[in-house]
Amino acid sequence: MSAEHLQHVACHDDLLAVVAEPSLDLPQLLARCLGNLALANRLIQALQGSVTQLQQQLQQAVANSDLAQTALLAHRLRGEAANLGAARIRDAAAQLESAGRSGDLSLVRETFTTLETACRHFLSQPLPEAAASDVGQSLTRTLQNRGRLLR
């Protein structure tokens, strides 16, 4: 296999991994919101708006080969995603930020594709519903575990 083919396969595997994993750690977010699902949904909607806006700005920065702006915007997106437990977006944005700082435009374009996939997957997910008993049980376990750690 050629190096180019292996790189394509690795990129394809990364994209499949993005779609296969949940786009948001809902139990973690609910724990941060003290179980308030309405608050969690408002925060998710705010992140959806930010993701949409920053993704458009990043697309423009990448198209203009503006690596400094790409790194700055990716850093911002990484922070916002991390705060709400959107790990896939956080990780892809961190890779894009690093690529932007490296000055490697081809790497920036490649990692931007991965970020776009993570963003599309996140934006396509419905808001959580109150009837999600598994989430409630998971939240209870998370809060109990945190309580044990604080003792």
CA distances to 20, 50, 61, 122, 137 from 132, rounded to whole Å, are 20, 26, 39, 18, 9
Instruction: Give me the pLDDT at residue 19, please.
Output: 44
Identify the CATH number of the domain in which residue 111 sits.
1.20.120
Structure pTM? 0.72
**Does 30 map to a domain?**
yes
**Does 7 map to a domain?**
no
Instruction: Give me the pLDDT at residue 151, please.
Output: 63
**Does 53 map to a domain?**
yes
**Does 124 map to a domain?**
yes
**Does 17 map to a domain?**
no
Domain that holds residue 34: 25-150
The three-state secondary structure class of 64 is coil
Tally the domains of the chain: 1
CA dihedral of residues 134, 136, 141, 142 (deg, nearest 10) = 110
pLDDT tens track, the chain, 151 positions: 544 544 444 444 444 444 456 788 989 898 989 989 999 999 999 999 999 999 999 999 999 999 999 999 999 999 999 999 999 999 999 999 999 999 999 999 999 999 999 999 999 998 888 644 455 555 666 666 666 666 6
**Does 9 map to a domain?**
no
Phi-psi region of 65 (alpha: psi -120 to 50; beta: other; left: phi over 0): left
User: Any idea which residue has 């790497």 for tokens?
Assistant: 107
**Does 61 map to a domain?**
yes
**Does 2 map to a domain?**
no
Instruction: Give me the pLDDT at residue 138, please.
Output: 59
